[in-house]
Amino acid sequence: MFATLSDRLADTFKNLRGKGRLSEADIDATAREIRIALLEADVALPVVKEFVGAVKERARSEEVSGALNPAQQIIKIVHEELVTILGGETRRLRYAKSGPTVIMLAGLQGAGKTTLAAKLALWLKDQDKTPMLVAADLQRPNAVQQLQVNGERVGVPVFAPEPGNAQGVEHGGDPVDVARRSIEEAKRKLHDVVIIDTAGRLGVDAELMKQAADIRDAVQPDEVLFVVDAMIGQDAVTTAQAFLDGVGYDGVVLTKLDGDARGGAALSIRSITGKPVMFASSGEKMTDFDLFHPDRMASRILD
Ligand code: GDP
């Protein structure tokens, strides 16, 4: 991800090398090229406009520091503005003051929620937490089993409804009831974090939103995380907005950052939704997962 954007920006900065001072025309030309690079990377238009406007303004008005040449000065500005649109500070998980911390995952089917649930559980385990996974996706055939398999891979127990007590849903059981009972179970078994995997659909629909909102209301999560596939480009931003309106969430998890999509979703989502990207998932391995660090991501783009 970001390979084309990185190359594009590098070319733009190359054109400034050796210049003693940037003219108005140099700044305009650079701003134009940054604009094209971002649009080609599929960054949402309002975000591109704001970004380019800020870079231009600062390039014009800021004193060039003695230690930097004009090209380096522009790179520094672009880096700082990238950090800003990526959310600034790293947003860390907020743990409950007492009782288990409840994390609820929401997102479309295929976003990588079930995989992410296990990755997050492993990450928490590595921080000396004792997480429990909850299978509240009772819609998709095999979702419960998939979570159980993933839970086993990372050595984290999975709370799931008993199969066979069918109430017209795939696996049997009511996802709201499963979620509610899981909190009791976590308290009994002294798990300090509960990760609830909820059902996704192929597209946004009212029933999906209602079910997620019902689970949210029933368990009052400390964090609702919206999980989204970064490979789906501008659709990621549209979906993020729909979930924000329909369910609401505290933070975003970007998955499949290892893909070769153009990366625009990662750059747009914070500005468009106002919600921080908290975690990034970047591969099929359970360890391909970490907190999202805006400064590191900006450095990677400008590397
Ligand atoms: P869910 O429907 O949202 O629960 O999605 P899944 O967890 O089943 O993931 C859908 C597919 O995406 C699976 O084939 C996963 O292996 C794959 N996947 C999930 N996360 C990543 C990731 O970060 N990178 C890559 N390359 N594939 C991923």
User: Is residue 145 lining ligand 1, measured as CB closer than 6 Å?
Assistant: no
In angstroms, the CA 99 to CA 205 distance is 33
DSSP string across 183-210: HHHHHHTT-SEEEEEE---SS--HHHHH
- Residuewise pLDDT in 10s, the chain (303 residues): 888 999 999 999 998 888 878 889 999 999 999 999 999 999 999 999 999 999 999 999 887 767 788 889 999 999 999 999 999 999 999 999 999 999 999 999 999 999 999 999 999 999 999 999 999 988 877 889 999 999 999 999 999 987 654 443 445 578 999 999 999 999 999 999 999 999 888 888 888 899 999 999 999 999 999 999 998 888 899 999 999 999 999 999 999 999 877 888 889 999 999 999 999 999 989 999 999 999 999 999 998
Residues 140, 199 contacting (CB under 8 angstroms): yes
Q: How far is CA 43 from CA 49, 51, 165, 289, in A?
A: 10, 10, 47, 23
**Is residue 212 a known part of a binding site?**
no
**Is residue 38 a known part of a binding site?**
no
User: Is residue 113 lining ligand 1, measured as CB closer than 6 Å?
Assistant: yes
Structure tokens, 80 = 């700082």
Q: Report helix, strand or coil for 226.
A: strand
The three-point CA angle 81-247-101 to 5° equals: 85
Orientation angle between helical segments 70-85 and 45-61, nearest 10 degrees: 140
5-18 burial code (b ≥16 CB/10 A, e <16):
bbebbeebbeebee
Instruction: Find all residues with CB under 8 Å of 127, minimum gap 6, and list them.
Output: none
Q: Report helix, strand or coil for 19.
A: coil
In eight-state DSSP terms, residue 285 is S
In angstroms, the CA 162 to CA 126 distance is 29
Cα 281 to ligand 1 centroid, rounded to whole Å: 9
User: Is residue 258 lining ligand 1, measured as CB closer than 6 Å?
Assistant: yes
Residues 233, 42 contacting (CB under 8 angstroms): yes
ipTM: 0.98
The torsion of the CA quartet 4, 9, 10, 15, rounded to 10 degrees, works out to: 130
**Is residue 302 a known part of a binding site?**
no
